[in-house]
Amino acid sequence: MSRQKTLKLIHLAGTVWFILCLGCISVLALRQAGFRWWVIFSLSGHSALVIFLLISIYLFAIFRGVGRNQTITIEHPLTSTDYYLMFYVATPLLAGLTSNLAMLGGGGRLSLFASGVAFGTLETTFVVWIIVDPVIASVEMLLPQSRKSRAVRLARAKLEKEQKQRDRQLLLERILDREKEDIQRRQRALKPQAEKLAGLLITDGADFGKAERQAVDIGVSAWQSGGLSCMQQLRDMTMDLCRKKYKDPTVVDYVSSWWDGIGSWRSPSLG
């Protein structure tokens, strides 16, 4: 059996024992408060599903943590060793065994025995997990080799983060350049159609209907070629040509109305 799997199984057993001790203390506290057994069983039944879900989430997090915990052995020369990890995950079991042996020597009622074992497990586990382990880890981080290793790791992480930012910026610039090239290439391809549309805009009233039909055909072709963005670019090119070529700054934008309903194009006047 692998080291990681062994640690997970021991941690599973220790967590189950820890939860049983919590349950035992809760039941004894309810009994001392005067609750009857049927009330206790009722409360346990309603909360069983919630407790199971919480334990499942906790175990999932712990299992992942055991596999990745203290991987930087240089920064944590003690807490990353197999012996320490084994002691850490087995703390509830060791605490329960020690409390069991201590209570056996004292005798007494079953409820007193169960209470002593449960409280002993909780107190010892709390001290080791909440006080002793963080203190040891903090002392490890103060060692010269640990501080040097941490500084190197943080510097490497900073360089990697900066490199990722540069890569993202470079990718964004490439995308923008590609879009600019696409716009320029499409502008060259659309120039003949823009010149034709510009001529249709200054058509007199007698040929207005024919101009509209030709403009619609051009709009459909633009929609099929590049969608709404292509149509918008063609319309903007057409209006610029009208103002520059025909010296008419007040030219009416009939194109937007002619193309209404083509693909997703909608006339501004119609929303």
Predicted confidence at residue 177, as pLDDT, reads 92
Average pLDDT, the chain: 77
| Domain that residue 258 falls in | 180-270
Residue 172, domain member (yes or no) = no
174 located within any domain: no
Please tell me whether residues 49 and 115 are part of one structural domain: yes
Same domain, 185 and 134: no
Total number of domains in the chain: 2
One domain for residues 126 and 225: no
Asked, for residue 161, whether it belongs to a domain, the answer is: no
Return d(Cα 147, Cα 220) in angstroms, integer: 68
Q: What percent of the chain has pLDDT over 90?
A: 8
Same structural domain, 42 and 131: yes
Q: Closest by alpha carbon to 238, among 184, 194, 206?
A: 194
- The confidence score (pLDDT) of residue 30 equals 64
Average pLDDT of the segment spanning 121-143? 86
Structure confidence by residue, pLDDT tens digits, 144-177: 888 888 888 889 889 999 999 999 999 999 999 9
Task: Indicate whether 235 and 138 sit together in one domain.
Answer: no
Picking from 142, 169, 197, the residue at the C-terminal end of a domain is 142
Confidence of residue 53 (pLDDT cuts 50, 70, 90): low
Q: Does 40 have pLDDT greater than 50?
A: no
**Quick one: 65 and 135 in the same domain?**
yes
Distance of CA 29 to CAs 33, 67, 112, 115, 126, Å? 6, 36, 12, 10, 19
Residues 184 and 99 in one domain: no
